[in-house]
Amino acid sequence: MSKKNARIVMISMAALCVLLMITAFVGWGSDKTGSVRNIKLGLDLEGGVSITYQAVEENPSAEDMSDTVYKLQQRVDGYSTEASVYQEGNNRINIEIPGVSNADEILQELGKPGSLTFELMDGTQILDGSHVVSAEAASQRDNMNNNEYVVQLEFDSEGASAFGDATAKNVGNQIAIVYDGETISAPRVNEPILDGKCIISGDFTIESAQQLASSIRIGSLSLELEEIRSNVVGAQLGQRALKTSLIGGIIGIILVMITMIIAYKIPGIIAAFALLMYASLDLVCLNAFEMTLTLPGIAGVILSIGMAVDANVIIYARIREEIMSGKAVRSAIDTGFRKALSAIVDGNITTLIACFVLNWRATGSVKGFAQSLALGVVLSMFTALVISRYLVNACYELGMNKEEYFGKAIHFNRLPITEKRRTFFIIAIIAVVSGPLFCLINGAAGKGALNLSMEFRGGTATDVTFVDSYSIDDIDEKIKPVISEVIGDAEIQSQKVSGGNEIIFKTRTLSVDEREALTDALDEQFPIETYTDNAGEEARSINFETISSTISSEMRRDAIVAVIIAVICMLIYIWFRFSDSRFALAAVIALCHDVALVFAAYAIVRISVGNTFIAAMLTIVGYSINATIVIFDRVRENLKQRKNFESLEDLVDMSITSTMTRSIYTSLTTFVTIAALYVVGVASIKEFALPLMVGIVSGAFSSVCLTGPLWYILRKSRDNREQAQAQQILESQQASKITASKKREKKAQKAQQKG
């Protein structure tokens, strides 16, 4: 790169950064396109639409209600991955969709759930919509090789059998799809359909195909539902929670930038610039892809910030190592980027694998977490491997080419990690066992093994209409303390209904006496509206309903299955990339340690276990596996350069020691980001940040003190065999040399005697 090109690169990068920052923080045009203020926020941060349905059937079974809640959750994921569905009372279902404000539009699009049948043209019913597994709009090529839009249907085994019999007997006839008493489609049967999968074709546009698919999906519920109320509700956490989260994030990023500059000099300034560009680019893309950002989504953004810093730390630590080894700065830069590439790519690909599986298998906030994290990972790789590289090379060409510009490498003597492995293993075992132990202690004390939130155990929804109007901050600071005092529990969620003084409070399940006490306490300090009931008596406008958990058993199952599949896929990738199953096994043991330690924190500190619990666990999985791969990458590199009879223990220790700078700085910068959120955040933010801080410390400990020794133990027996074989070969070669030497001596002696 010439000096002219270097100047062009610097000017272009500066202009791009300014453009991204203006777009992210100001926006363009009257609607502020691209601005952070246009990012879709979840129900917890912004509010949205709340719809309540009631089953038409008088006494629906618990199984049908649970199945309907689960299927509705999958339906409304199309509006937002952060939408939630939960049961209210015995026969009602609530749907909460964030980021929207037109309840009538949502109701029109959803239609009347649960009234779909497939019928012959004489009115004979073949099956109902409960047998539909999926209905999706798609495109295919017709007989003339033109593109056409279709609707793809799939039935369960019972539905496939009934549909197969009907189509076999009615080739050439039509089968009507009847939704809410109206025929919405009547395709002709061209051939028997025996595998439970069919395609509806016709003169569809993409919109009409999507509409038909949507009607079939919403009509395929176990129960028929009718809408009884819909409201536009405010944020659950209020503006103060959002503001403190943003302040904490900004403080964290600034502290990270300062740390990088102090540690790495010129490369640190470049890393700070790249991080600023990354943050702006991430905000713009969150807006562009219309992602819904909630508290769990913020976890994904925070983790990706840590990974963005991590990539720069790996690169600059490598450059320093090359300079310290005696290489010229130019050569050190090229070699540093090249050697850092494998660790960065492997670490990010394993995280992307997890994101893909979670987005595929999970629902709700877990899917939202996966999407925000995947976006951040891709952008962090781009800024580290492209932006940073161009800027480092440009700075070099512009005269910043002396060793002192890159800071002084921190030199660690060989750390005896493998020698002290028994001590580390004992510490790890004690930490892991503490979680189940405290669960037993809590259970014996009658407090429950974990402090499960309403999202897991359900509770009571208290719908109150006050005489006066209260802001969300008033609700948090004035009304919630009164409720907390009455029920003896600080976990209270609130939603303010738009256009009135109605507020919905969600708490743990309340007894009849507690409901009466709460009514009196609220009315005394915050007068409740009154109305005349059917008996002609005056009554207070307050209603109580029992609500189910927003995280259903099916959603928990999906999340667990998704995490298991993700971990397996990540480990298969590690096995493939490192060509040694021992790396994968050591990684999964360390991963289990970190997750168990975060779980222990929830049990010991009694942190509320809710949606953020899943997000925190997933964050630690991504963070832990990334930290482990960096050390394993160095072990793999050193194995290739291993000298004969070099101790495997020394090799592992030197690999860990040489990556210690990365471990310290990455853990420190990520911890600082989370700690800033914890210090300035409201209670719900603190409950989210604390387990992440525990996980970061745990991840640093396991990556440095556990993964290397674990791999060493698993590999030692093989290494001993290889060393023994090598020793035998060497001894055999030496014996051969001695024999050959003796033969030459005898030959020489005979020659002398003849002479």
* Beta strand 197-204 pairing with 40-41: unpaired
| pLDDT at 194 > cutoff 80 | yes
Residues 6+ apart with CB under 8 A from 232: 47, 48, 49, 50, 101, 103, 497, 498, 499
Q: Tell me the average pLDDT across 380-384.
A: 86
Domain 459-547 class in CATH = alpha beta
| CA distance linking residue 100 with residue 48, whole number of Å | 5
Query: Model confidence over 526-557: pLDDT tens digits?
Result: 999 988 877 788 888 998 888 877 666 666 77
Taken in order 456, 462, 463, 465, the sign of the CA dihedral is negative
Which two tokens mark 584?
């994968």
- Are 506 and 547 spatial neighbours (Cβ–Cβ below 8 Å)? yes
What percent of the chain is modeled with pLDDT above 90? 12
Confidence of residue 720 (pLDDT cuts 50, 70, 90): low
Domain boundaries defined on the chain? 3-15+237-406, 115-220, 459-547
DSSP 33: B
Query: Model confidence over 335-378: pLDDT tens digits?
Result: 888 888 888 888 888 888 888 887 777 666 677 777 887 888 88
Query: Model confidence over 557-582: pLDDT tens digits?
Result: 777 787 788 888 888 888 888 888 88
> Quick one: pLDDT at residue 662?
77
> Quick one: pLDDT at residue 727?
62
Query: Model confidence over 267-309: pLDDT tens digits?
Result: 888 888 888 888 888 888 888 887 777 766 666 676 677 667 8
| CA distance linking residue 451 with residue 457, whole number of Å | 10
Choose which CATH entry (3.40.50.150, 3.20.20.30, 3.30.1360.200, 3.30.413.10) describes domain 115-220: 3.30.1360.200
Q: Tell me the average pLDDT across 610-634.
A: 79
Helix (H, G, I), strand (E, B) or coil at 255: helix
Confidence of residue 81 (pLDDT cuts 50, 70, 90): low
Query: Model confidence over 221-235: pLDDT tens digits?
Result: 777 788 877 777 665
Q: Tell me the average pLDDT across 38-51.
A: 73
Q: Tell me the average pLDDT across 141-166.
A: 87
151-160, 189-198, 569-578: segment of lowest average pLDDT: 569-578
Which two tokens mark 553?
């058993």
Q: Tell me the average pLDDT across 172-190.
A: 88
Confidence of residue 730 (pLDDT cuts 50, 70, 90): low
> Quick one: pLDDT at residue 295?
66
Q: Tell me the average pLDDT across 315-330.
A: 84
Closest listed residue to residue 189, CA positions, set 172, 166, 202: 172
> Quick one: pLDDT at residue 755?
56
Confidence of residue 667 (pLDDT cuts 50, 70, 90): confident
Q: Tell me the average pLDDT across 319-324.
A: 84
Residues 6+ apart with CB under 8 A from 540: 519, 523, 528, 529, 530
Q: Tell me the average pLDDT across 579-588.
A: 85
DSSP 414: P
Confidence of residue 457 (pLDDT cuts 50, 70, 90): confident
Topology annotation, domain 3-15+237-406: Multidrug efflux transporter AcrB transmembrane fold (1.20.1640)
Residues 6+ apart with CB under 8 A from 154: 132, 133, 134, 135, 196, 197
Confidence of residue 162 (pLDDT cuts 50, 70, 90): very high
> Quick one: pLDDT at residue 242?
66
Q: Tell me the average pLDDT across 474-495.
A: 86
Give the CA distances from residue 349 to residues 344, 662, 670, in Å, rounded to whole numbers and listed in that order. 8, 19, 20
| CA distance linking residue 607 with residue 603, whole number of Å | 7
Which two tokens mark 118?
């497939």
| pLDDT at 108 > cutoff 70 | no
Average confidence score pLDDT of the chain? 82
> Quick one: pLDDT at residue 428?
92
